[in-house]
Structure 1
Amino acid sequence: MEQGVLLSEPEEAAALYRGLSRQPALSAACLGPEVTTQYGGQYRTVHTEWTQRDLERMENIRFCRQYLVFHDGDSVVFAGPAGNSVETRGELLSRESPSGTMKAVLRKAGGTGPGEEKQFLEVWEKNRKLKSFNLSALEKHGPVYEDDCFGCLSWSHSETHLLYVAEKKRPKAESFFQTKALDVSASDDEIARLKKPDQAIKGDQFVFYEDWGENMVSKSIPVLCVLDVESGNISVLEGVPENVSPGQAFWAPGDAGVVFVGWWHEPFRLGIRFCTNRRSALYYVDLIGGKCELLSDDSLAVSSPRLSPDQCRIVYLQYPSLIPHHQCSQLCLYDWYTKVTSVVVDVVPRQLGENFSGIYCSLLPLGCWSADSQRVVFDSAQRSRQVRDTDCVEGQPLWSTPRSPGGSGGSWKLLTIDQDLMVAQFSTPSLPPTLKVGFLPSAGKEQSMLWVSLEEAEPIPDIHWGIRVLQPPPEQENVQYAGLDFEAILLQPGNPPDKTQVPMVVMPHGGPHSSFVTAWMLFPAMLCKMGFAVLLVNYRGSTGFGQDSILSLPGNVGHQDVKDVQFAVEQVLQEEHFDASHVALMGGSHGGFISCHLIGQYPETYRACVARNPVINIASMLGSTDIPDCSVSCRCVVEAGFPFSSDCLPDLSVWAEMLDKSPIKYIPQVKTPLLLMLGQEDRRVPFKQGMEYYRALKTRNVPVRLLLYPKSTHALSEVEVESDSFMNAVLWLRTHLGS
């Protein structure tokens, strides 16, 4: 294919997708115990877990690979893989014991139908399975949580017990008229159990149980559970306050109790995925007396508490506002023995020059402490990059960006750190994830960090990229938050025959409080390889630019974010001289909201649009989304500029304002051909939003095509759905941007 020329055949696009989609993604890493060889050398194993799309099986497969890292105590001498990758079927969670001599694995097995799938908790030692517990058969609780919001699998310091979170066992329910025939071959115990009058509650089989929203539909009432590894006994911990749901738990110093995060679920549960603003607090429950103690402010939101190696302090993230769904957070430190809490890193209103712009990660790595318990290491968005942050808990917070290969300015993700040996991932828009290890330098010398590659990835040729800093014109300034700038990441084909013939695809991100970073992303890379320039816009309100930027967006959706994207498009077209008559939009969730606004407000600019689960009518979505307080796509009430309250309905003026900020207002001006892709099981932006837009456009004879995926959720990330939606999007763009 000639560079800069659009692929003309679906087969070519499919072949390109098949090749690039094979790039695996790192999901986790852990370090084995330190080993001293007979020659005096030291080494550690690195266990990594990856995911990869399998287009033949139409599923994401998981596999693991081991590496060896030889070192001299403060630097890596040699590192490399130890054997080939092995698929790990059925693994949901796994954790090494503190000494590294054992490993706990939560595994699913059995059929795929209702009630057929079983969960087992296994304990492995050296080259054998030491224990296996059929959790489903024991019936102490419901399914174990494996998500990263509530889920955990934590060894006690003594390595005798395992702590995890599971769904509370529900009472059996049956119809008022249901009768159960007794099996004559059943055991006496089974017959006695079936005869018990309190075994089932008549008329309760259709009782509604609230869940925690998008991607959490089976999770309602979490409980803390402890497994005695030796005896196999399971106990559900008591003492957790009834008004909170526990999760993210770990063993307290001395194994005398458990520390956990508790989320308020009254008056009702709201979607928690991607919503770090859910009211929550840090708790300690004593295992002996069952007494529960509050460890943090209970009027804010917290997440990911992590115990220091010396078991003296806990760091955690705290969000000082319950308004934006994701925002700049504080890093707090709780001293276990003095009971004193301090703020190590505070909220940063806005970045000044090259300075630190705040913490924006939703979870700290499970391994984040330095060996001396004096520093915490994690990654966070800093403007349009993901960098490594190092915070000295005893003094001045530090911000350091590791030296990038070739000075390319890509993005980093810390997977774990143990005994100052770090495992991290590095990638760029043209370089798939590479796995690296290195020792954390002494305090104050973080900039001298040296990395050694464990697994190199091949750069994708002919993708050029860079970051554009954009300053909105004076008439588009936010009066309350003046002086804010924003950024866009531009990918473009390398050396096209004629740059003025290159079409451009504009992609605003979802959220709205999230961001694009200079990391590997399949869709932008694919589009660029097919001859498109791709513009990824971090409009004002994106994370990584300071809290002021985030707070500038509520009340201004449909206006500030839309104008920022349009301004970025006009600036790049003027500077790069791409084909201004062949510009398209592609966005999902709030990015779809912005895209549908743009084809209504600027119909002459865009020749085609692809929208995934877009918010179309804020007012009609209020009563159907799992997050009416702060929709990830439109912030139904708050993003429209009004305070949210769970006990009242908006008045007529609020309804009118929501409609005024919605893309559906601009339906009469739309003439851009639109491809809609909707997930029928979407809890965040119910698919009826897209249907409403589809029907309105159809009545006006606007070219529109609708893809409805019956079992898909908000992200459309299932392998079959993702591949189908990409191919349809490419063909739509090719049809309407082709010359």
Structure 2
Amino acid sequence: MEPDAISTLYREYSGYPTPISAFVTANDYMALLNGTSFTLIAEWSQSETFQGTRLHYAQQWTLIQNYSKETDIDIQPPSPCSLLHGELLSSYSLSGDLKAVVRETSGQFAGQQFLEVWSNSSLKKIIHLTALNKHGRVYEDAQFGCLAWSTCESRLLYVAEGKRSIGESYTSASSPSAGESTARPLGSPSEKDRSMYWEDWGEGLTSKSVPVLCVADVAKGTVTVLQGVPSHVSPGQALWAHDGECVFFVGWWHEPFRLGLRFCSNRRSALFCLDLEGNCECLSGDTSSVSSPRLSPDGRYLVYLEGQVFGPHSQCLTMQQVKLSFQRLSESLPLLHLPVSGAFHAGLTARLMYSTFSGPSCRLTLAIIQLAYINKYIVNINRHALIDCSAYKAPTSHLWLKTQSSQDERVMNFWSSAVHLKIAVAFLPLAGGEGEVSWDPLGESCLRGAIVNVLDIIPTPQEENPEYSGLDFGALLVTSNHLPSRTKVPLVVFIHGGPHSQFFAEWNVTTAVLVKLGFAVLMVNYRGSTGFGQDSILSLAGNIGSQDVKDVQRAVLTALADQTAEKLLTLDPDKVVVMGGSHGGFLACHLIGQYPDFYKACAVRNPVINAATLLGTSDIVDWRYSCVGLQYSYDQLPTPEALTTMLQKSPISYAPQIKSPVLLMLGGKDRRVSPHQGLELYRSLKSRGSPVRLLWFAEDAHSLARVDTQADCFLNVVLWFQQHLHLH
């Protein structure tokens, strides 16, 4: 296929909108009493490749409850889409009467930030945050950021960057050496401090260094920076207590120095309560990692996730529960080590960030990773009951949207497979009837004629991990059923990064377009992927470059061998290519080095090539030790033995054996895996005359997430594979 046709197809599929959040409210007082008519407002994100931007827009539906059956919904046609310009954060009040927006302007006031409060009919209040000069930029990220209404709907809580120099109204913690005071004295900064280095929280959180909790008084138009946060922690994920007299927040330790926080649930942190007078109390233990606090509607319970510090950066977590009247801590959902067939088995992950309490009944909705799926559950925290209410059977995934709803119990669900998107809404039945949830679709997009097969793969006895035996893993094989019978199809082996992440049976634009172009795609979840229990995650430590490499190769051989006479197509063993990013790129480069005659081409994004040289440049230096089976501490210094181990487990050791043509795609601002990693392989291959091409995206980072970058990468990957598979 010609480049223009490939780009057109990618533009079409990448333009499918993705739901971000939703809010449901009664339309009027009588509707609230009768429970008959509601308005649902959903916000969406959509990639627009012509301009290289992501559009953010809103859409409304009217929902009418059926009297004959309370869970049935009559959905009226949606309103036209409304583009949202410059919205960084938004939040509806509990009553649904007010909407708060943090907006960043363009044009004459470019870069200025405002806090707006809207009613159903007009703008009620605007606060020029930049002009007030109480703090720096508002945090809009999912790690720290929040925008929370108090129950009285008169105040808003958010997180912003603290001010660092004087002339300003308060002091904030800096980044001192170990043992040095974190207090920064008032007074004009001296000349010697002009070029002082300020740490931040690493990849994806660049320039976010010293967060502070801020409260805006809507009526007065004032902003107060809350005092009393311990100087050794950075606050975020804050929410109001039920009485509005204090706030809860997660505090991450930033002493003796900050480690990268994005995608890392293993950072030392604790749950705190801070009153408006500046008195702060720790509600959890202080030797673990916590996240995602949620307050029950009656204000009696606070639940959150808890995990270990260091080790794998994404692990199975426990759900903890605090009864606030007694400050009694208990465990709601335990950590799961091994999958248990037919039961909740895979352990909680950071996906709980998308959960919410629904209505007054203290039922918590959450998404749980299980094997290749994200399934929907409801937890009754009073009874510690866990109910599966996934709308569709495998191979699909479900993700609760952040649906805000105070009086009502309305939930919104984002459902997808690897080639299918659907958004649906439901009324929750009374407690005990959650298994009978009836989902009504609001819209869908899909790739017609594609099939998703889930493979369960068992390692051979020689590939078993003696410390964690009996572990299997999985893969998703996505193929087209619109090709002529017995067609030989080239296979793209697609490997996720992390390594402790996963390919879910959810919408993946790369996979969908590759299948449309005539490829089959094998998405491998090797041992160490999330969704298979804690033992699977722990099994990879010390075994990178061997166990995970063998798992991917075993998955490929399994897929190639699974060819029956009834199949409409056959995977072509002579046309297998491999692609991946980060740790997926690490594995792809290992595969073409360890199996040099098997893969006909390779495409990698920001790959780890030499773990030894990465040690001093990555924002997650702890993982560079943990992944090779070594313990980490903040005062760790490299040893010859440690560096040797890292080098031996790196793809660069196999560079002389590589025969496959390699396409490298590197982000110039990557702080997780330095782009110089890819350059090491590039130079090694160039020196040996091996085919290699390098794309350098100077303004992009580790995820290569810019819209124009993603489109450029996809086009180049397809053309690279077509060239070296001799496809016309």
Q: TM over 0.5: same fold?
A: yes
Q: What's 1:32 paired with?
A: 25
Q: Which residue of 651, 675, 679 corresponds with 2:663?
A: 675
Q: What's 2:716 paired with?
A: 728
Question: Are residues 154 and 403 of structure 1, via their aligned partners in 2, closer, same or farther at CA, if it must alter by over 3 Å?
Answer: closer
Q: What's 2:684 paired with?
A: 696
The TM-score with structure 2 as length reference comes to 0.93
- 1:565-608 CA-partner distances (Å, limit 9, x unpaired): 00000111111341101000010011000000000001111000
Q: Which residue of 476, 480, 496 corresponds with 1:489?
A: 476
Q: Which residue of 523, 537, 559 corresponds with 2:546?
A: 559
**Segment drifting more, 639-648 vs 39-48:** 39-48
SS of the residue 2:592 aligns to: helix
Counterpart of 1:218 in structure 2: which amino acid? S
What is the CA distance between 1:360 and its match in structure 2?
3.3
SS of the residue 2:377 aligns to: strand
- 1:583-639 CA-partner distances (Å, limit 9, x unpaired): 000100110000000000011110000000000000100110111112xxxxx1101
Q: What's 1:597 paired with?
A: 590
Q: Distance between the aligned counterparts of 2:377 and 2:276, measured in 1?
A: 35
Question: Are residues 331 and 507 of structure 1, via their aligned partners in 2, closer, same or farther at CA, if it must alter by over 3 Å?
Answer: same
Q: What's 2:326 paired with?
A: 338
Q: Distance between the aligned counterparts of 1:32 and 1:627, measured in 2?
A: 43
Q: Which residue of 7, 20, 34 corresponds with 1:14?
A: 7
Q: Which residue of 402, 408, 411 corresponds with 2:397?
A: 411
Maintained 8 Å contact 1:36/1:43:
no
- 1:243-281 CA-partner distances (Å, limit 9, x unpaired): 000001111121111110000000111111110111100
Q: Which residue of 39, 42, 47 corresponds with 1:48?
A: 42
Q: Distance between the aligned counterparts of 1:81 and 1:272, measured in 2?
A: 42
- 1:290-348 CA-partner distances (Å, limit 9, x unpaired): 21101001100011111101111111111135311011110111111011011010000
Q: Distance between the aligned counterparts of 1:222 and 1:410, measured in 2?
A: 38
Equivalenced residues, count: 697
Q: What's 1:86 paired with?
A: 82
**Segment drifting more, 647-656 vs 598-607:** 647-656
**Segment drifting more, 321-330 vs 442-451:** 442-451
Counterpart of 2:474 in structure 1: which amino acid? E
Question: Are residues 399 and 602 of structure 1, via their aligned partners in 2, closer, same or farther at CA, if it must alter by over 3 Å?
Answer: farther
Q: Distance between the aligned counterparts of 1:367 and 1:399, measured in 2?
A: 14
What is the CA distance between 1:361 and its match in structure 2?
3.2
What is the CA distance between 1:199 and its match in structure 2?
4.2
Q: Distance between the aligned counterparts of 2:46 and 2:128, measured in 1?
A: 29
What is the CA distance between 1:110 and its match in structure 2?
3.2
Q: Distance between the aligned counterparts of 1:101 and 1:37, measured in 2?
A: 15
Q: Which residue of 102, 109, 114 corresponds with 1:106?
A: 102
Q: What's 2:672 paired with?
A: 684
SS of the residue 1:464 aligns to: strand
- 1:385-437 CA-partner distances (Å, limit 9, x unpaired): 11102223233542414231xx45311110145332111111111212x2211
Q: Distance between the aligned counterparts of 2:34 and 2:276, measured in 1?
A: 43
Counterpart of 1:592 in structure 2: which amino acid? G
What is the CA distance between 1:496 and its match in structure 2?
2.4
What is the CA distance between 1:366 and its match in structure 2?
6.2
SS of the residue 1:629 aligns to: helix
Counterpart of 1:88 in structure 2: which amino acid? L
Q: Distance between the aligned counterparts of 1:353 and 1:133, measured in 2?
A: 54
Maintained 8 Å contact 1:172/1:201:
no
Q: Which residue of 134, 144, 152 corresponds with 1:140?
A: 134
Maintained 8 Å contact 1:679/1:713:
yes
Question: Are residues 366 and 679 of structure 1, via their aligned partners in 2, closer, same or farther at CA, if it must alter by over 3 Å?
Answer: closer
Q: Distance between the aligned counterparts of 1:58 and 1:216, measured in 2?
A: 22
Q: What's 2:504 paired with?
A: 517
What is the CA distance between 1:445 and its match in structure 2?
3.4
**Is residue 271 of structure 2 the alignment partner of residue 282 of structure 1?**
yes
**Is residue 351 of structure 2 the alignment partner of residue 355 of structure 1?**
no
SS of the residue 1:658 aligns to: helix
Q: What's 1:438 paired with?
A: 426
- 1:33-57 CA-partner distances (Å, limit 9, x unpaired): 4535589562221111111111221
Segments of structure 1 that go 5 or more residues without pairing to the other structure are 1-7, 174-196, 631-635
Counterpart of 2:267 in structure 1: which amino acid? R
Q: Distance between the aligned counterparts of 2:597 and 2:519, measured in 1?
A: 20
SS of the residue 1:234 aligns to: strand
SS of the residue 2:621 aligns to: coil
Q: Distance between the aligned counterparts of 2:281 and 2:644, measured in 1?
A: 46
- 1:512-545 CA-partner distances (Å, limit 9, x unpaired): 0011111110000110110000000000001111
Q: What's 1:378 paired with?
A: 366
Maintained 8 Å contact 1:36/1:42:
no
Q: Which residue of 249, 253, 256 corresponds with 1:260?
A: 249
Counterpart of 2:471 in structure 1: which amino acid? L
**Segment drifting more, 437-446 vs 279-288:** 437-446
SS of the residue 1:581 aligns to: strand
**Segment drifting more, 150-159 vs 445-454:** 445-454
Percent identity (aligned): 43
SS of the residue 1:625 aligns to: coil
* Superposition map of 1:87-486 within 5 A: 87-111=83-107, 116-171=110-165, 198-288=187-277, 290-365=278-353, 368-404=356-392, 407=393, 409-417=395-403, 418=405, 419-432=408-421, 434-454=422-442, 456-486=443-473
Maintained 8 Å contact 1:120/1:133:
yes
SS of the residue 1:163 aligns to: strand
Q: What's 1:738 paired with?
A: 726
Q: Distance between the aligned counterparts of 1:279 and 1:70, measured in 2?
A: 47
**Segment drifting more, 675-684 vs 224-233:** 224-233
Q: Distance between the aligned counterparts of 1:367 and 1:516, measured in 2?
A: 20
Q: What's 2:526 paired with?
A: 539
Q: Distance between the aligned counterparts of 1:109 and 1:426, measured in 2?
A: 34
Q: Distance between the aligned counterparts of 2:584 and 2:35, measured in 1?
A: 53
Question: Are residues 367 and 675 of structure 1, via their aligned partners in 2, closer, same or farther at CA, if it must alter by over 3 Å?
Answer: closer
SS of the residue 2:243 aligns to: helix
Counterpart of 2:418 in structure 1: which amino acid? P
Q: Distance between the aligned counterparts of 1:705 and 1:472, measured in 2?
A: 34
Q: What's 1:192 paired with?
A: none
Q: What's 1:179 paired with?
A: none
Maintained 8 Å contact 2:66/2:74:
no
Q: Distance between the aligned counterparts of 1:230 and 1:366, measured in 2?
A: 31
Counterpart of 2:395 in structure 1: which amino acid? G
- 1:459-493 CA-partner distances (Å, limit 9, x unpaired): 31121111000000000000011000000000012
Question: Are residues 105 and 680 of structure 1, via their aligned partners in 2, closer, same or farther at CA, if it must alter by over 3 Å?
Answer: same
- For the aligned residues, what is the CA RMSD? 1.9
SS of the residue 1:342 aligns to: strand
**Is residue 577 of structure 2 the alignment partner of residue 584 of structure 1?**
yes
What is the CA distance between 1:712 and its match in structure 2?
0.4
Maintained 8 Å contact 2:270/2:282:
yes
Segments of structure 2 that go 5 or more residues without pairing to the other structure are 168-185, 564-569
SS of the residue 1:733 aligns to: helix
Question: Are residues 41 and 247 of structure 1, via their aligned partners in 2, closer, same or farther at CA, if it must alter by over 3 Å?
Answer: closer
SS of the residue 2:625 aligns to: coil
Counterpart of 2:209 in structure 1: which amino acid? S
Maintained 8 Å contact 1:320/1:330:
no
**Segment drifting more, 487-496 vs 291-300:** 487-496
Q: Distance between the aligned counterparts of 1:499 and 1:641, measured in 2?
A: 46
Q: Distance between the aligned counterparts of 1:219 and 1:568, measured in 2?
A: 40
What is the CA distance between 1:371 and its match in structure 2?
2.8
SS of the residue 1:502 aligns to: strand
- 1:82-133 CA-partner distances (Å, limit 9, x unpaired): 4110110100000011111111100001359xx9511000111121111111
Q: Distance between the aligned counterparts of 1:643 and 1:373, measured in 2?
A: 44
